[in-house]
Structure 1
């Protein structure tokens, strides 16, 4: 017998689960739109060559590819070692690559600075495990056409505002700049060729600690003098005095000599966010909900400047992230266009949000006797719907308690018993809880 389960790493959602997800998505959409972003939609598939153009990092290896139509057995055998010969399309593994293609295609129809919302499923051939799925929803906001720190500040403020609206106050943003990372690795003596691999190892600092990172760098065969310099920097004596987010904190967290331009840009973002959210003290008491992290890496290869992750005190993992990717759109247009984005991890956030009520004034189950005429039932239902209620018809069963418990689990808040000849005024609505 064939299995009736969904494919591994993919899920069905029962009505109550789906309703909860839609409530959270509605809040996210509302807050994004309030901050001036406009929603777009792109196809679930993109050309194979675009998805494997070297700009998607490790996610390119996780793409689901779509077999070309019309291939016979001989063509499949001859192309067994060349995926590009067998596939011409693929399911999108993120929303950033499709957005870059979308902007290149519709640039003439869009404003000079375009603020985009994309909320949609993506697919990755992950190894399924708790919290990691092969199909999941991403909630992205991006600003294209603005090279200044204003874009980053807008994204950060909109994201934190959205988190607050979901009842998850107290979020903070960990921030870094890929230019600072590149400069730091160069100052230690790592060669340009080995830096991508070094960054992969540094990204594990929170998990394996300084000893594990330096040991792995030596195992990778990284330049010995550079590893020594990096290890010395990690183990340098540090005082514990408080330093709020700003120039002092950033310079103290990096080796001496960091370019002023990088520091100025990071400070400006913090000042703008602090001005928009003056009452928040989540950023180590500074009034700015941002923390500079010199070892924040973010794995996507297309980041060119600022990078950040969303943290919340209730969990020890990030709830989203993003960064600046000024070079990606130029792959399609032949000229660089500044771009920066932030993605909320919807699947992680939806489990943290407290249950809410449906938007309808009430959700009513009409429990009717077998002999009530259909016309009467439909008329009663229409009357309640016209009043703004959500209504379900259920024929009375012997186990009324089980029927009502199921209705409550599905989000209904009240019920009424209906007999033949009943009018709207006759209905006595009783709470289900």
Structure 2
């Protein structure tokens, strides 16, 4: 029987030209994050299943790839449970592994600790355009900083990193879990029902107010409460950021003072950043259960979903360390960024194309000279067939220019661009 050589469903092989683009984008992001002082760490792909299923991953916990214990028999008894068979799982994000890392190593880390991670994660998604079962995330986190300096710096660094890749036209959306909780309490809902309200509010941009209002009675809200909820949210959408504090107090009188002060400070700092487009979005929820304060997303017209997201999670590290540590993080959806940018230039790449009668020392010397000047140079031999056809193939393979070496040439020929560049 012939073996199926296609990748596993929801995964992909990446050709050299595609990887070159990804490397180029990652280098731009990495350069910005390093300038802000974020230090790169690495964590294992495998985590203990108890940690991954601790109730903090929201819907993602349903998408975990579980790994069977070693040494299992080929068949198992009918009364064996999944817990008996599984002890590890593939990470579904980079935040949960980070909290374990910090708990184990915090005594040797600078405070606050600025962490930078890039790596693959796995979720048992239903494959579709822009959603894969194996994909890369790119995260920065600040651990140990109580003030909104963390939120502001994370937003500034991430938007600068995206701009460095060539992505423009993005908008930052900001909200706060404490605001959402105050909104639910003002509506008269018991805390156990807040999650359902948040799920419905998160759909507002997709189903509109008619759709949201149709769902809210099933969440335990009556007509008058629904009217007040809609009025509160509508009053906070758009508007001048300078009046945000006043509008927050008017819309949700029971909102914690700390939340209002924090959000006002963040708004003032973001308003001072040139070129940043941002808005307070009272319907922003974020799916992870571990968020405790401000949350944020970056959206772009070319993507149906957010291209980056994060927030404050002050309670999560305590599960590993035994005491709470203030923490805030921002994750770039690396695959979506690549999809939006498409064929972004990955830098110059020179083909030193040589005829068969050219001495090897001449070929390697020409390539060496180009590399010394900072170019990436490769030396393919001149093949039989039309010269123009080979140049076309070189361009398809990602080369940007060519140097053609002939046996009867004296000096090294000049470099010329491919494809009219």
Query: What TM-score does the superposition give when structure 1 sets the normalisation length?
Result: 0.88
Q: For residue 337 of structure 2, what is the aligned residue in structure 1?
A: 349
Alignment of 1:232-243 (within 5 A): 232-234=228-230, 242-243=239-240
> Which SS does the other structure have where 1:351 is aligned?
helix
Between stretches 17-26 and 233-242, larger displacement belongs to 233-242
Between stretches 196-205 and 229-238, larger displacement belongs to 229-238
Distance 1:163 1:426, change over 3 A: closer
User: Deviation string for 1:103-139 (max 9, x for gaps)?
Assistant: 0011111012001111111110000001111111111
Aligned counterparts of 2:97 and 2:181: Cα–Cα separation in 1: 27
Equivalent residue pairs, number: 415
Give yes or no for contact 2:178–2:256 (8 Å, CA) kept in 1: no
Aligned counterparts of 1:214 and 1:114: Cα–Cα separation in 2: 43
> Which SS does the other structure have where 2:21 is aligned?
helix
Q: For residue 119 of structure 1, what is the aligned residue in structure 2?
A: 118
> Which SS does the other structure have where 1:342 is aligned?
strand
Unaligned 5+ segments in structure 1 are: 283-288
> Which SS does the other structure have where 1:206 is aligned?
helix
1:336 aligns with 2:324: yes
| Aligned-residue offset at 1:59 | 0.7
Q: For residue 203 of structure 1, what is the aligned residue in structure 2?
A: 202
Q: For residue 63 of structure 2, what is the aligned residue in structure 1?
A: 62
| Aligned-residue offset at 1:189 | 1.2
Q: For residue 159 of structure 1, what is the aligned residue in structure 2?
A: 158
Distance 1:241 1:46, change over 3 A: closer
Q: For residue 93 of structure 1, what is the aligned residue in structure 2?
A: 92
1:272 aligns with 2:266: no
User: Deviation string for 1:63-97 (max 9, x for gaps)?
Assistant: 11111111003436543xx3222111111100000
Aligned counterparts of 1:262 and 1:42: Cα–Cα separation in 2: 33
Give yes or no for contact 1:376–1:421 (8 Å, CA) kept in 2: no
Distance 1:121 1:260, change over 3 A: same
> Which SS does the other structure have where 1:146 is aligned?
coil
Q: For residue 223 of structure 1, what is the aligned residue in structure 2?
A: 220
Equivalent of 1:318 in 295, 306, 310: 306
| Aligned-residue offset at 1:318 | 1.9
Aligned counterparts of 2:176 and 2:390: Cα–Cα separation in 1: 56
Distance 1:358 1:205, change over 3 A: closer
1:263 aligns with 2:249: no
Aligned counterparts of 1:239 and 1:399: Cα–Cα separation in 2: 65
> Which SS does the other structure have where 1:13 is aligned?
coil
Alignment of 1:290-305 (within 5 A): 290-305=278-293
Unaligned 5+ segments in structure 2 are: none
